[in-house]
Every structure is written in structure tokens, then in C-alpha cells.
Structure 1
Amino acid sequence: MKKRFSEEQIIGILREGEADGVVIRDVCRKHNITEQTFFRWRTKFGGMTVSDARRLKDLESENAKLKKIVAEQMLAIEGLKEIATKKW
């Protein structure tokens, strides 16, 4: 699924919403997002710089790869255990 906004754009929108005198609803309307999306982004990306967001994305993808490797290894171990317990 392709995301509509990059991390850089999200951080820019959040910074725009943090400006004094700006109404969050107006920022959301301007960028065609819901307030719920804005606050979800603020929870995830609040206080981050663009480089921090890129690093987070890289770490999340690396974590997913490692989880996949661990799952494959667990399947291999379970298969070997099952073969070892059978009597031939």
C-alpha cells in the first residue's frame, strides 16, 4: 500500500500544526487529512526531525526482516524435532 505522505511531509504538517495561533482543524482541512490522522502522526512522529523519521523507518524494516528470519528458523527447528522423535 502506497502512502500519500512521506515522513518529511508528515513532519512538515506537524510543525505547521504546532505554530502559534494555528487551528489543527484548519491544518487538517488544508492537507486533506482527518484530525485523527494528525494526532496519530503526532503520537508517532512528534518531536522528531526528518533524519530521525528516516532512521525509524529503516529500523522498522530491519526489525521486520529479523522477525521473518526468526520465524523461519523456528519452523526449521520444529520440523527437525518432529523428524527426530519419529521411529524409523
Structure 2
Amino acid sequence: MANGTCLKRFIPMKATCWNYSRHVVLESRKQMDERDVIHRPVIGRIVLTLMRTMMRVVNHLPLLRRLMQRKQMKLRKISAAGAIERQRAQMA
């Protein structure tokens, strides 16, 4: 691709990726704050232990692991599609 055609195609794609990642980080921050149960002294350790145990159980059961992977990928695709649509709307 001569005459900077590749660069012209790359810049909008990079902007879309950057806006998507920025949006995802901001959404993720909404889910985390210091008032969560996990940040409390005693009960937080119990919650953390239960979360780790559940992740180990999921990791050792292939059927459950695949199910969770599918759901997570579906959620990511929906989130990515929404971010791309918002980006297109902003560019228009």
C-alpha cells in the first residue's frame, strides 16, 4: 500500500480501539469502590477465600469453565459492539 494508505486506515482503527479500552476501564471502575464487602477487615478475607475457591472449582471442571468462557466472550462482544457504535456516532 503506497502513499500512506496503510497509515490512513490504521489511524481510525487505533482511535476506535483506544476509545473502546477507555470506555471499558471507566465501566470497570464503576464496579469497584472502597465500600465493597471485600475491603472490610474480617469479612473481606472470607469473601476473598470463597472467590478464590470458586475460581479453582471452575478451573477444574471443564464443562463449567467452557460455559463461563462463552458467557464472558458474549459479554465482551456486546460491549465491543456498543463501543464501536458509539464511536461511529461520535464521528458522524
| TM-score tier (shorter) | 0.3 to 0.5
Greater relative contact order (Cα < 8 A, sep 6+): 2
> Could you tell me the TM-score, scaled by structure 2's length?
0.34
Q: Decide which structure has the larger Cα Rg and report it.
A: 1
Which structure is higher in helix share?
Answer: 2
> Could you tell me the TM-score, scaled by structure 1's length?
0.35
